[in-house]
């Protein structure tokens, strides 16, 4: 069954709908566990940062799915942008420090390094011809459970790819949970290829030029 949702650029009025889908589809993710304040701030970053972009599927004025990503790094940038919400999320859910201690430790260790200045590194350290061609990273994509199987995910991927191409990107990348066989089949059917794999994550890439 084909969907009749409209694919639109991600805008501020879509944030609550996007957060609701994220929380429902990824209930055990670290970002969901940090609470709705953090989710709202995280997706707000994708609206405000110049390297970020995204699309949503809307039907009857309700968000049915979304895809967001960037043409640059985003994990540490979001950490800096949403640091107060992260602190509040952990303070209101102290059990995260026990049940998720390894993941939380890795989060803080990685991102605190991102807060520190980097000395001796120049953005123009390499000649232009040796720099990598622009690439887009698909950071998050989800479709509401009631809309599964209607082709919304495929439409979102196609729209995201179009936006990445408009931004001059030559390829796209993403990572997915290794046991998410449904998503993996969808990506591979859409032309994504595996670049690396761990017991928990599979990393994909797709050439778009």
Query: Is there a domain that residue 180 lies in?
Result: no
**Nearest alpha carbon to residue 169 among 160, 178, 180, 182:** 160
How far is Cα 74 from Cα 133, in angstroms, rounded to an integer?
Answer: 18
Question: What is the average pLDDT value for the chain, to the nearest integer?
Answer: 86
Which tops the pLDDT comparison, 33 or 59? 59
Strand-pairing partners, residue 12, are: none
For the chain, where are the alpha helices, taking DSSP H only? 15-25, 30-33, 36-48, 75-81, 83-92, 96-99, 101-115, 152-166, 181-189
Q: What is the CATH number of the domain that holds 61?
A: 3.40.630
**Nearest alpha carbon to residue 10 among 59, 62, 68, 50:** 68
Query: Is there a domain that residue 127 lies in?
Result: no
Res. 143: pLDDT tops 60 = yes
CA of residue 116 relative to chain centroid, distance: 24
% of the chain residues with pLDDT over 70: 82
Query: Is there a domain that residue 193 lies in?
Result: no
Query: Is there a domain that residue 107 lies in?
Result: yes
The confidence score (pLDDT) of residue 128 equals: 42
pLDDT tens-digit series, residues 78-133: 988 998 998 898 788 777 666 655 555 555 555 455 555 555 544 444 344 445 78
Q: How many domains does the chain have?
A: 1
pLDDT tens-digit series, residues 60-81: 999 999 999 999 889 888 988 9
Query: Is there a domain that residue 93 lies in?
Result: yes
Among 107-111, 155-159, 198-202, the range scoring the smallest mean pLDDT is 107-111
> Quick one: 21 exposed, middle or buried, by C-beta within 10 A (0-12, 13-18, 19+)?
buried
pLDDT tens-digit series, residues 29-53: 888 988 999 999 999 999 999 999 9
Q: pTM for the whole thing?
A: 0.84
89: domain range? 6-117+133-159
Strand-pairing partners, residue 137, are: 70, 173
Query: Is there a domain that residue 164 lies in?
Result: no
pLDDT tens-digit series, residues 173-190: 999 999 999 999 999 999
Query: Is there a domain that residue 33 lies in?
Result: yes
């Amino acid at each position: 069954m084909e969907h009749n949702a409209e694919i639109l650029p991600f805008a501020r009025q879509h944030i609550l709908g996007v957060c609701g889908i994220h929380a429902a589809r990824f209930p055990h993710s670290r970002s969901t566990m940090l609470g709705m304040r953090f989710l709202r701030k995280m997706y707000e970053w994708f609206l405000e940062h110049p390297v970020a972009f995204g699309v949503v599927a809307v039907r009857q004025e309700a968000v049915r799915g979304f895809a967001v990503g960037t043409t640059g790094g985003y994990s540490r940038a979001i950490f800096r942008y949403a640091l107060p919400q992260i602190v509040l999320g952990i303070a209101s859910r102290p059990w995260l420090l026990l049940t998720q201690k390894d993941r939380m430790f890795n989060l803080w260790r990685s991102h605190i390094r991102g807060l520190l200045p980097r000395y001796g590194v120049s953005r123009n350290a390499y000649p232009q011809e040796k720099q990598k061609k622009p690439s887009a990273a698909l950071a998050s994509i989800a479709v509401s459970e009631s809309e599964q199987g209607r082709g919304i995910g495929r439409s979102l991927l196609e729209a995201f790819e179009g936006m990445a191409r408009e931004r001059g990107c030559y390829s796209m990348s993403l990572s997915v949970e290794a046991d998410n066989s449904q998503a993996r089949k969808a990506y591979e059917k859409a032309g994504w290829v595996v670049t690396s794999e761990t017991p928990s994550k599979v990393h994909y890439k797709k050439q778009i030029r």
